[in-house]
Structure 1
Amino acid sequence: MKAVAFKLVLRSWWRNKTFSIISIVSLAIGIACTNLLAAFVIYEFNIEADNPNKEKIVYMAQDSPMKSGEKASFIVGKIPIQLKEQYTEVEDYLRFSSIDCNSITIGNKKYDPILITRTDTTFARFFEYEVLYGNLHDALSAPDKAALSESCARKLFGKTNPVGKIVQIDLADGGMRQENEMTPLSRPFQIAAVLKEHPQSYLKFDMLTGIGQDYYGGGVALLRVSPSFDKEAFAQKIKADGVPTLQQEKGRYYFYSLQESYFQHYPQESFPYIARSQQSLLLIGLISALLILLIACSNYINLSFSRILQQIQIIHTQKLMGATQAEMNYQLFLDTFLTVGIAFLLSLLIAHDLIPVFNRIMSGRITTGFFLNRQVLPVICGLILILSVIPACYMSRKITNLTDSNYRLFFTGNKKRKIVTALSVMQYIISIGLVIGTLTIYAQLRLTQKKGECYRNLIEIGSWKGGKLDVNTFAAELKNRPEIVSVTRAGGSILFAWLQQIVIKNRDGSESYYSSVQYLGEEDFLQTLELQILQGLPPREAMRKYGRPVYINRRYADILIPAGENPVGQPVSQYDKSFRDILPSDPKQTCTICGIVSDLYINTLEEEAMPSLIYLNNAGDQHYRTLYVRLNDKQKKEGMETLQAVWKKVNPSEYFTYMDVYEVFMQRNRRTTDMANLLLMYSIISIFLTCFGLFGMAVYATEQRTKEIGIRKVNGASTRSIMFLLIRQFVKWIAVAFVIATPLTWLLLNRWLESFANRVSISPLYFLMGGGIVLAITLLTVGWHSYRAASSNPVKSLRSE
């Protein structure tokens, strides 16, 4: 009987090829999307899952001295040592900092910069990395030794054992060079170990080296604590004991688990050796995947009902021929399990091909092998069982309780229509909501791009940290070239500038803190950065009139300049009592405000623009460390080739390094970019699956009404009227779905946009476009098949009936 049941299932699939293919393909896509997001969420919410020390490790943070209400994870180097020595709750400490690298040299060959991280010898007591070659303790205990990650070792040395090899690191750390020396420190490191990378790692590094005894701070600190450690109680305890913070007695420390710190964002800080993720993106992504699965399941259920209706006579014939209820149930379960099983196998192929794209969109690190991980495999198996068992149980129960006539009445009467209507409306709600969400989030992304438009085609070369590059000669070589729009020299990096504190006295006696940034540039600095002068003098006139002209941005003026007052011509110190000049002081020259310029955004749009001051330098060329070059958009490739050629001419012995400022700025706004890309992908998939289901339902509806269509045409009905008859139920479903989707989507989007200091408003046009796009696609999908049915020869349909 089992062989017979298998043959009957295959015969049913062959007779209903359209329904079977649509069911399997749409279900496979839904399962693939869900499995991808489920695996990603499990990966991210179980960081360092195999680390036995995970629950004992806490991450340190403290109140930021730069802005009220924010936290910073910059920890002074002696504080973790002090906590271990004074408190029994702290068993050990681990500190991290990074080393800036211009390039690396092995023999006579130069390579791109790598991520070099300094850490304590206690590293192995926190993170258990498998050592492939060498000794990790030796690598961290000597100042001239290091450990490489497996991937970095392969890139630099191939498959050979690199232990004992020398790697020359061209550093760019201004604090490690002699006074007035422009040559970067180049240090040799002997490779003492190679570490095997593991999935769900909290850390990112290419090279590890020892932190040294003279470490002051500047990075992250982790503590290994006792099992009875209470984070809040310990924070209160050390505050009462007067453990110093960056805000002295006003501040306090905070402690978080590794998992909590993995999802945290600290403004103004960049620690490349710590992997971080976005919890909101994970949750929205998982919800989107489940919605896609709902659409796929709706297609599966609708088409399964339709297919079983077409074979109901065969089922009842089998019962009359002596088939038992158990055998009938087995056949239905076999049908369902085969459908879901084939869809699952197909979904694995789809997921495997999508993983690179998915990782790029979501900044993920999952691999195909992770699907077989003990964390993921039970979830996937459970999903497959649910998709297999529930529909099979429901269908078998219905079939056993209904006669042939009652069964037809169920599937052609009000019950059938209610089920189909509910499932179809749900699909439309999801599709409309995803389209509206995508349009709104892309509007926020366009706002981000607009705020960063001044960085487009802007290349940063050089560093305030020193180096051999002569930016003055470099700038002179680039003048008057058609592929170069403009060139300007600056005192440092725009996106990685030093921050200073502004203290504002409030009326109630309290103080508010703001982070400010100061820039130094020459006369055409504003032009190259495309900053608009809102009030005041142009640069050339300002440099003639004032000895130390300074532009302030609009945000600076809003915070410090009284309303209605004109600050142009006034000294900066008149408004900012904590003002500190970035250039050597000259009592004869006062920093004078010469104008107000538009805001320059250097971080995410979730924050307000920082108050900024821009010095126009009259003090000489020795203060310039960085070059900004704006390339011609139509000749960007030629412009980059010119930069490399001039670099080789001016700086022949150094490796060419640069930074695309726009790319870095957009990377800082990755939350918006990732969200937009994710919803775009899932919106396209949802519409695609909805079209699949609509096509199948249109085929079924047309086949069930073939005789009716023929009679109507014989009696004079036009093709247009018949098409309207077949399409109108879909239009009604879209209308109902639009009414439900509109308020739900508005609430969710409004809540998401509240996290942005600079945000777009939710436009009613996006709602109309969302509904209109889904309606247009539905009319195209259903209308095509309806037209074929309505324009067919009625004699043939009546003869066949």
Structure 2
Amino acid sequence: MLRNYFKIAIRNLRKHVGFTFINIFGLAVGLACCLLITLYVVDELSFDRFHAKADRIYRINSDIKFGGNDMKMAVSPDPVGPTLKQDYPQVEQFVRLHERGTWLVKPAGSATNLREEHITFADSTVFDVFTLPLVSGDPKRALASPNTVVISESAAKRHFGKQDAMGKTLVFDNKQAFKVTGVMRDMPTNSHFHSDFLLAMLNDDYPWGQWLSNNHYSYIVLREGVDYKQFEKNFDAVIEKYVGPQALQAIGSTMDQFRKAGNRYQFWLMPITDIHLHSKQQIEFLPAGDIQYVYIFSAVALFILLIACINFMNLATARSANRAKEVGVRKVLGSERQQLIGQFMAESVLMTVLAMILALLMVAAAIPFFNTIAAKELSIQSLLSPYLLPILVVLPVAVGLLAGSYPAFFLSSFKPISVLKGRINVSLKNVSLRSGLVVFQFMMSVILIVGTIIVYRQITYIQHKNLGFRRDQVLTINDVYALGKQAETFKQEVLRLPGVVSGSVSGFLPTPSSRTDNSFFPEGQVDQRNAVSMQAWGVDHDYVKTLGMQIVQGRDFSREFGSDSTAVILNETAARLFGGQNGIIGKRIMSFDDPTLKSFKTYTVIGVVKNFHFESLRRNIGALGLVMDANSGAASFRLSSTDLPALVSQIESKWKELAPGQPFNYAFMEEAFDNMYRAEQRVGTIALTFAALAILIACLGLFGLAAFMAEQRTKEIGVRKVLGASVVSIIGLLSKDFLKLVLIAILIASPIAWYAMSQWLNDFAYRIDIDWWVFALAGVLATVVALLTVSFQSVKAALMDPVKSLRSE
């Protein structure tokens, strides 16, 4: 029987090639979208789950409110991990990571450096906590001694080629030598941190034991059966015992007084498997993902699949008139309804299997493009994993049964006498259901259109917002410290080049990076009530001018004033926290000058710079001070040239003259700023792509319903034409019903889209308003698409010869 079902199904599909292609293509597009998004979602959910102890590893986060700043950080004090291991038997192990950032690295004896970005100091226990397999070396001893380093296989190939890296020496920043004591496999891409170099923590030049400084990523492994939420309750005692004495020494307040003043100092645990998607912490290793996008794209996958199934239903029922006589004849010859349902279900499953094969081909072709826009490394082979392979088997059958259920029950319900006489009873209930399905399709399409428009408007707003500084045509050159004492010489040589307007050497630029705040006080008022939590950037005399910042009060740094070595320029936020701009010029402020919190350095306020954005626009502008300091981390040059590549080449030549063998690494500030919002740009592109595909599938469904309605009203159209109705009036008659459905979809979709996008925009401190015209534009686009879709069937029906439709009467 089953064989007969499929034999007849193949015959019917071959008989109606055009109908079959449209239906299979629509399903294939829906299934391909679903599979792509499934790969994306599975990859996002897999982060950090490769660690053997992933279910017991927790990161210690810090939550601090002090000095006008509310900081939720992924880092914590350096002693917290060892202290928890020592005081609490529930802690099995701990590890600290201290990100070093970028260093110049070369093998001993080589004259050429490579710029390496993923360098981290780590405790020797790193291999006890994380699953980072070594291909060479002993994980128990690899980082137990000073001047040792474990490198990744990729790093070993870069620096030593095919030679064995074990026992070799690497020189960092042309001065510090480390012996390679281990080679580890490259860290998986689905990890919340990546490192090609793990340096012994014993070499980290850091003032240890500072409970008030948060600079380390600290992780603990809890023993089996320990509830981490219960364990968190111990942090109050830890803070009282260890943080309290240092706070009392620094600001003269007990922790109780500290809290009563409205301040906060807390630790809490985050499961390592939650970090990538759920962390909203500052100073993350890498930009985190967002669980909202997982929910959004999961919903999009489901909706697109539903739209494809609805499309199938509408196309199948649109062909009902052509198959009505078949059903009637088969019923007269003795076929049971169950047999007819089985027949139509078999056709549906067969079409879905064919659609799945086509969908897999589409996925294989689309994955490179999808990886580019989503910044992923997905592969078609991932679908063959033990988790996803069952989906490939079950999905076509499930979709086939779902999509074919309504047409099967609908077609098998025809009464043989009625259909053989040419009368098909289409109830209001059936029409209402199909209309409701079309409304659902276009409702989802409108929501996707609105979402795409708002995402792109927010990105455009960010890209064109006045940031308080000029980022256009500013060239930044990294690792200027490689020049040593010739950094200033390099700056002056570049400034002599035509097209270079100004230049500055500083380790601080107004782009996001791992920076920490310090506590500042009015001179002689070291008290928590007067504290201001503020970043202090070391800059040179030309920094403000080069970046196009605006001094709104006082003056800029000047070489004419030797006292500027102890001067500070505050931004407007810092000036407000210190009592306002009135009387701020000449005011003296102070900050701790050493890790022991016993000595201070005092600065005199000489100016106030207009607030500028130095972090993501998701956050409000914090307090900032600019101080004179010789920091040669990076050089910035404002350029004015119509031939930028030639000018950059000239600058590179100056670099090579002064720093032979040192990599010339540069970027334009505009690019660095745009990189902050790559995630949103990717989301916008993905949303636009899937919105277009959803509309395409919805149009196929609308095409099916238009064909169905035209078939049902063939005789009515014939009568109207005989009575003198024009082609235009008939087209309008057939089209207005569909326009009503689209209008209903727009009315339902608008409030849903408004709410969803309002929630998304809440993540930004600086954001656009959602204007009414966005919904109007989405509605117009949906309406135009609907009209273009139904116009073909409407024109075809209106031009039909009435004799053909009425000759059977």
Match of 2:572 in 1: 554
* Alpha-carbon shift at residue 45 of structure 1 (Å): 2.7
Match of 1:444 in 2: 458
Distance 2:751 2:684 in 1: 20
CA RMSD, Structure 1 to Structure 2 (Å): 3.8
Q: Which amino acid aligns with 1:117?
A: T
Please give the secondary structure, in 1, of the residue aligned with 2:224.
coil
Q: Which amino acid aligns with 2:120?
A: T
* Alpha-carbon shift at residue 89 of structure 1 (Å): 0.6
Q: Which amino acid aligns with 2:670?
A: Y
Deviations 1:326-376 (A, max 9, x none): 543432222111111122222222223333333443344443332222333
Deviations 1:182-217 (A, max 9, x none): xx5253543632426557445422233433376757
> 1:447-596 to 2 correspondence within 5 Å?
447-451=461-465, 454-463=470-479, 467-468=483-484, 470-479=486-495, 481=497, 484=500, 486-490=502-506, 492-495=508-511, 496=513, 499-501=517-519, 515-521=533-539, 524-533=542-551, 535-536=552-553, 539=556, 548=564, 551-562=569-580, 566-567=582-583, 570-573=585-588, 591-596=604-609
Distance 2:299 2:106 in 1: 47
Deviations 1:683-712 (A, max 9, x none): 222222223333343344445545544554
Distance 1:23 1:485 in 2: 62
Which of 236, 242, 245 is the aligned partner of 1:244? 242
1:230 counterpart = 2:262:
no
Distance 1:406 1:141 in 2: 88
Q: Which amino acid aligns with 2:547?
A: L
Match of 1:677 in 2: 685
Match of 1:32 in 2: 32
Note closer, same or farther for the CA distance 1:252–1:734 as it changes in structure 2 (3 Å cut): same
1:686 counterpart = 2:687:
no
Contact 1:37-1:285 at 8 Å conserved across structures: yes
Q: Which moved more, 1:512-521 or 1:310-319?
A: 512-521
> 1:123-138 to 2 correspondence within 5 Å?
123-138=126-141
Deviations 1:722-768 (A, max 9, x none): 22122212211111111111112112222222232111111111111
Distance 1:499 1:590 in 2: 16
Contact 1:16-1:307 at 8 Å conserved across structures: no
Which of 114, 125, 130 is the aligned partner of 1:122? 125
1:737 counterpart = 2:740:
no
1:281 counterpart = 2:301:
no
Please give the secondary structure, in 2, of the residue aligned with 1:116.
strand
Which of 728, 749, 761 is the aligned partner of 2:736? 728
Which of 258, 269, 276 is the aligned partner of 1:255? 269
1:418 counterpart = 2:420:
no
TM-score (norm 1): 0.85
Distance 1:391 1:689 in 2: 14
Deviations 1:110-157 (A, max 9, x none): 544242233233233323344444544454335454444345455666
Distance 1:224 1:22 in 2: 55
Match of 1:95 in 2: 96
> 1:264-343 to 2 correspondence within 5 Å?
264-265=278-279, 267-272=281-286, 276-325=288-337, 327-343=339-355
Match of 1:370 in 2: 382
Match of 1:83 in 2: 84
Q: Return 5+ residue gaps in structure 2 as ranges.
A: 209-214, 248-254, 259-264, 595-599
Which of 175, 193, 196 is the aligned partner of 1:206? 196
Deviations 1:398-417 (A, max 9, x none): 44444146678777342232
Q: Which amino acid aligns with 1:740?
A: I
Please give the secondary structure, in 1, of the residue aligned with 2:548.
coil
Distance 2:156 2:417 in 1: 72
Q: Which amino acid aligns with 2:732?
A: F
Q: Which moved more, 1:715-724 or 1:430-439?
A: 715-724
Note closer, same or farther for the CA distance 1:282–1:121 as it changes in structure 2 (3 Å cut): same
Contact 1:102-1:113 at 8 Å conserved across structures: yes
Contact 1:65-1:501 at 8 Å conserved across structures: no
Contact 1:572-1:579 at 8 Å conserved across structures: no
Match of 1:164 in 2: 166
* Alpha-carbon shift at residue 425 of structure 1 (Å): 0.7
Contact 1:43-1:200 at 8 Å conserved across structures: yes
Please give the secondary structure, in 2, of the residue aligned with 1:23.
helix
Note closer, same or farther for the CA distance 1:418–1:105 as it changes in structure 2 (3 Å cut): same
Distance 1:545 1:198 in 2: 53
Distance 1:44 1:165 in 2: 37
Match of 1:178 in 2: none
Distance 2:568 2:315 in 1: 70
**Count of residues paired in the alignment:** 766
Note closer, same or farther for the CA distance 1:58–1:329 as it changes in structure 2 (3 Å cut): same
Q: Which amino acid aligns with 1:748?
A: A
Distance 1:211 1:286 in 2: 42
Contact 1:340-1:384 at 8 Å conserved across structures: yes
Distance 2:623 2:449 in 1: 37
Distance 2:705 2:163 in 1: 62
Contact 1:134-1:192 at 8 Å conserved across structures: yes
Distance 1:516 1:75 in 2: 18
* Alpha-carbon shift at residue 169 of structure 1 (Å): 4.4
Note closer, same or farther for the CA distance 1:328–1:281 as it changes in structure 2 (3 Å cut): same
Distance 2:280 2:403 in 1: 47
* Alpha-carbon shift at residue 90 of structure 1 (Å): 0.8
Please give the secondary structure, in 2, of the residue aligned with 1:76.
coil
Contact 2:535-2:625 at 8 Å conserved across structures: yes
* Alpha-carbon shift at residue 221 of structure 1 (Å): 1.4
Q: Which amino acid aligns with 1:244?
A: Y
Note closer, same or farther for the CA distance 1:689–1:551 as it changes in structure 2 (3 Å cut): farther
Deviations 1:144-182 (A, max 9, x none): 544443454556666x474437463443xxxxxxxxxxx
* Alpha-carbon shift at residue 238 of structure 1 (Å): 4.0
TM-score (norm 2): 0.84
Please give the secondary structure, in 2, of the residue aligned with 1:762.
coil
1:746 counterpart = 2:748:
no
Please give the secondary structure, in 1, of the residue aligned with 2:781.
helix
* Alpha-carbon shift at residue 21 of structure 1 (Å): 2.0
Deviations 1:406-457 (A, max 9, x none): 6787773422321221011111111111111221222221222124583344
Please give the secondary structure, in 1, of the residue aligned with 2:758.
helix
Percent identity over the alignment? 24
* Alpha-carbon shift at residue 539 of structure 1 (Å): 4.8
Please give the secondary structure, in 1, of the residue aligned with 2:185.
strand
